[in-house]
């Protein structure tokens, strides 16, 4: 009786060990292929990766002229009140764990943005880019072997398509700050579920 229990525990442990090793082997293969190919994914920052409504409100209250250097300095240093959106944030980390280089594109001026870059250095080392001219978003996607792009506006989806990158729509939250057309699914793009929260 005792021998049967011991044998059953050993078999269960061995089966679990084999499953873990198989999962680690699959992960290792995917990680190796992705890193050798130097593939990357890109996320827009505002309303895609984070809810930036509070920081935009703070910047608007702090300065008299929106769009000036001081406005961007306040905005770029208010990252502590920008909560990450759980689904896109988790997906970005999963892709990073599988070897993808994560690129974050902030459609903002870079004034005072060093602290913001430093805040996101773990998820996106050397990949946090400020894109002041939104019409040039595709230029940042073309040369970096980017295979997936996550954005919220119609313009961002079209910019990704212009660069030849597969685009996925992230839904905006109720207090979204980003302007522009927002018609999820109209362009035939897939929509990330539960991404508005």
Q: Give the integer Cα–Cα distance in Å for 119 and 105.
A: 14
Give the model's pLDDT for residue 182: 85
| % of the chain beyond a pLDDT of 90 | 51
> Average pLDDT for residues 125-146, to the nearest whole number?
85
The total number of residues shown for the chain amounts to 197
Q: Give the integer Cα–Cα distance in Å for 126 and 108.
A: 17
User: Which residues fall within 8 angstroms of residue 15, CB to CB, at 6 or more apart?
Assistant: none
Tokens (6 digits) for 60: 């608007």
The pTM score is 0.85
pLDDT bin (cut points 50, 70, 90) of residue 1 is low
Is the pLDDT at 144 greater than 80? The verdict is: no
**Which tens digit of pLDDT belongs to each residue from 86-130?**
999 999 999 999 999 999 999 989 888 899 999 999 999 888 999
Is the pLDDT at 64 greater than 80? The verdict is: no
**Which tens digit of pLDDT belongs to each residue from 22-47?**
999 999 998 898 889 899 999 999 98
**Residue 168 three-state SS:** strand
**CATH for 38-52+83-192, options being 3.10.129.10, 3.40.50.1000, 1.20.20.10, 1.10.150.120:** 3.40.50.1000
Q: What is the CA radius of gyration of the chain?
A: 21
Is the pLDDT at 140 greater than 90? The verdict is: no
Tokens (6 digits) for 167: 């685009």
Give the model's pLDDT for residue 133: 85
Give the model's pLDDT for residue 14: 92
Block residue for tokens 């594109």: 105
Phi-psi label, residue 114: left if phi above 0, alpha if psi -120 to 50, beta otherwise: alpha
**15-34: buried (b, 16+ CB within 10 Å) or exposed (e) per residue?**
eeeeeeeeeeeeeeeeeeeb
User: Which residues fall within 8 angstroms of residue 142, CB to CB, at 6 or more apart?
Assistant: 163, 164
Give the model's pLDDT for residue 63: 83
**Which tens digit of pLDDT belongs to each residue from 165-191?**
999 999 988 777 766 788 888 888 999
Domain ranges of the chain: 1-37, 38-52+83-192
Give the model's pLDDT for residue 142: 84
Is the pLDDT at 66 greater than 90? The verdict is: no
Q: Give the integer Cα–Cα distance in Å for 79 and 107.
A: 14
**Residue 46 three-state SS:** strand
């Amino acid at each position: 009786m005792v021998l049967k229990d011991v044998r059953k525990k050993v078999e269960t442990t061995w089966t679990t060990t084999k499953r873990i090793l198989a999962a680690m082997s699959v992960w290792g293969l995917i990680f190796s292929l992705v890193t050798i190919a130097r593939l990357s994914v890109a996320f827009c920052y505002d309303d895609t990766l984070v809810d930036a409504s509070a920081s935009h409100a703070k910047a608007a209250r702090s300065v008299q002229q929106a769009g000036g250097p001081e406005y961007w300095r306040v905005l770029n240093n208010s990252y502590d009140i920008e909560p990450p959106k759980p689904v896109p944030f988790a997906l970005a980390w999963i892709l990073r764990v599988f070897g993808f280089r994560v690129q974050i594109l902030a459609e903002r001026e870079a004034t005072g943005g060093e602290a913001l870059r430093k805040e996101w250095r773990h998820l996106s080392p050397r990949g946090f880019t400020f894109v002041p001219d939104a019409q040039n978003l595709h230029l940042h996607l073309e040369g970096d072997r980017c295979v997936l792009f996550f954005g919220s506006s119609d313009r961002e989806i079209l910019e990704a398509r212009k660069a030849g990158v597969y685009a996925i729509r992230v839904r905006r939250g109720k207090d979204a700050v980003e302007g522009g057309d927002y018609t999820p699914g109209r362009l035939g793009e897939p929509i990330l579920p539960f991404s508005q929260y």
